[in-house]
């Protein structure tokens, strides 16, 4: 299938590469052109408009709302190149408001918008193991299906309204951020009482929660291994903002999102914007006067049996 692809960060590059391997014909655009040229077997377009010309499906995987608005609707933006009848699958995390606008703008041009944000970090993108949450007109989703299958391990559909996909992604990220925040607080608590966070994780996630997400973030936080980032803290802040905006629009207070946002801002003030978003947990450690990962000498003597 002829596919346009906008946005070649860590996620986008891996996803585009999986589409190419599956035999699709890609025309790609990235604001920093070097990242586009690093990709083999694809045509590098000079503008988003050019990347969108003649494609059946246009995929966007851009950093935030501002980037989407600029690359879609700006000068030489993709919307000016996209033909009637084509489909735009927005796969990055966007605000519920932008999802609504995209649906309307595309519909007004005889095009269709599928909201299709993904769950998964860059390693999942490379391994084509993303989970894709899609909502939009059903025939448009059908057209995207082979593409989604080449990038992900599964597709969850949510009906006709792309806003629903945006909101599920936003609320899902809120659950993850809340888990990271809670791990950060719990670790600070056990550590100052003499228990090694890694041992705490073994017990509480190993026996009780049994979640690969807690396992992954729990280990990252215990080791304070925040570089290289899988997902940057500045983007975590952006996602908290999306949750708060979605909440505000529907009159839903979200105190955990507020708390997480405030902690992200401290992280920003301390210069951690480009660490992994799990560095959120370091704010709780800092607020308890803890600096640096636990020494092996504090390691708890207990061993699981």
Q: Site residues for a copy of itself, window 160-179 (CB under 8 A)? A: 160-161, 163-164, 167-168, 170-172, 174-176, 178-179
| 281 lies in the binding site for a copy of itself (CB under 8 A) | no
DSSP code at position 9: S
| 97 lies in the binding site for a copy of itself (CB under 8 A) | no
Q: What would the two tokens of residue 206 be?
A: 């190993």
Nearest distance in Å: CB 91, a copy of itself: 15
Q: Which stretch binds a copy of itself (CB under 8 A): 13-21, 41-49, 85-93, 194-202?
A: 194-202
Among 41, 66, 211, 298, binds a copy of itself (CB under 8 A): 211
Among 31, 69, 209, 293, binds a copy of itself (CB under 8 A): 209
Among 23, 84, 194, 292, binds a copy of itself (CB under 8 A): 194
169 as an active site residue: the answer is: yes
Nearest distance in Å: CB 144, a copy of itself: 13
Residue with tokens 């408001």: 97
48: phi then psi, degrees, rounded to nearest 5: -65, -40
- Whole-number Å distance between alpha carbons of 230 and 219: 14
Query: For the chain, how many residues are written?
Result: 305
| 116 lies in the binding site for a copy of itself (CB under 8 A) | no
Residue with tokens 């909440």: 247
- Whole-number Å distance between alpha carbons of 114 and 118: 12
- Whole-number Å distance between alpha carbons of 29 and 49: 9
Contact (Cβ atoms closer than 8 angstroms) between residue 195 and residue 264: no
Q: Which stretch binds a copy of itself (CB under 8 A): 4-12, 41-49, 212-220, 221-229?
A: 212-220
| 217 lies in the binding site for a copy of itself (CB under 8 A) | no
3: phi then psi, degrees, rounded to nearest 5: -130, 130
Nearest distance in Å: CB 5, a copy of itself: 24
Nearest distance in Å: CB 39, a copy of itself: 28
Among 41, 85, 110, 154, binds a copy of itself (CB under 8 A): 154
Binding mask 240-279 for a copy of itself (x = CB under 8 A): -x-x--xxx-xxxxxxxxxx-xxx-xx-xxxx--------
Helix (H) or strand (E) holding 266: helix 255-269
Q: What would the two tokens of residue 34 be?
A: 């070097």
Helix (H) or strand (E) holding 26: strand 25-29
Within residues 25-64, the interface with a copy of itself by CB under 8 A covers none
- Positive or negative, the CA dihedral 105, 108, 110, 115 is positive
Nearer to a copy of itself, 82 or 151 (CB): 151
Contact (Cβ atoms closer than 8 angstroms) between residue 133 and residue 117: yes
Active site members: 169
């Amino acid at each position: 299938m002829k596919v346009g692809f906008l946005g070649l960060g860590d996620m986008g590059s891996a996803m585009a590469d999986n589409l190419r391997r599956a035999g699709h014909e890609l025309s790609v655009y990235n604001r920093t052109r070097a990242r586009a040229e690093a990709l083999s077997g694809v045509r590098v377009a000079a503008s988003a408009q050019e990347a969108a010309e003649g494609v059946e499906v246009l995929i966007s995987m851009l950093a935030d709302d501002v980037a989407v608005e600029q690359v879609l609707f700006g000068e030489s933006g993709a919307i000016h190149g996209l033909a009637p009848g084509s489909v735009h699958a927005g796969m990055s995390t966007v605000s519920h408001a932008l999802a609504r606008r995209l649906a309307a703008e595309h519909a007004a041009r005889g095009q269709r918008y599928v909201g299709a944000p993904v769950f998964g970090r860059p390693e999942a993108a490379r391994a084509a193991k993303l989970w894709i949450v899609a909502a939009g007109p059903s025939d448009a989703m059908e057209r995207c299906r082979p593409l989604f299958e080449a990038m992900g391990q599964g597709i969850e559909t949510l009906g006709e309204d792309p806003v629903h996909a945006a909101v599920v992604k936003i609320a899902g990220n809120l659950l993850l951020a809340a888990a990271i925040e809670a791990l950060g607080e719990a670790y600070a608590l056990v550590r100052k009482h003499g228990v090694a966070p890694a041992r705490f994780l073994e017990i509480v996630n190993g026996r009780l929660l049994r979640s690969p997400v807690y396992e992954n973030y729990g280990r990252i936080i215990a080791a304070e291994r925040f570089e290289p980032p899988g997902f940057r803290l500045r983007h975590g802040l952006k996602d908290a903002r999306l949750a708060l905006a979605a909440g505000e629009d529907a009159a839903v207070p979200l105190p955990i999102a507020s708390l997480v946002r405030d902690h992200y801002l401290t992280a920003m003030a301390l210069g951690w914007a480009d660490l992994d978003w799990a560095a959120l947990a370091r704010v709780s450690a800092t607020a308890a006067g803890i600096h640096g990962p636990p020494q092996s000498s504090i390691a708890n003597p207990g061993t699981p049996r």
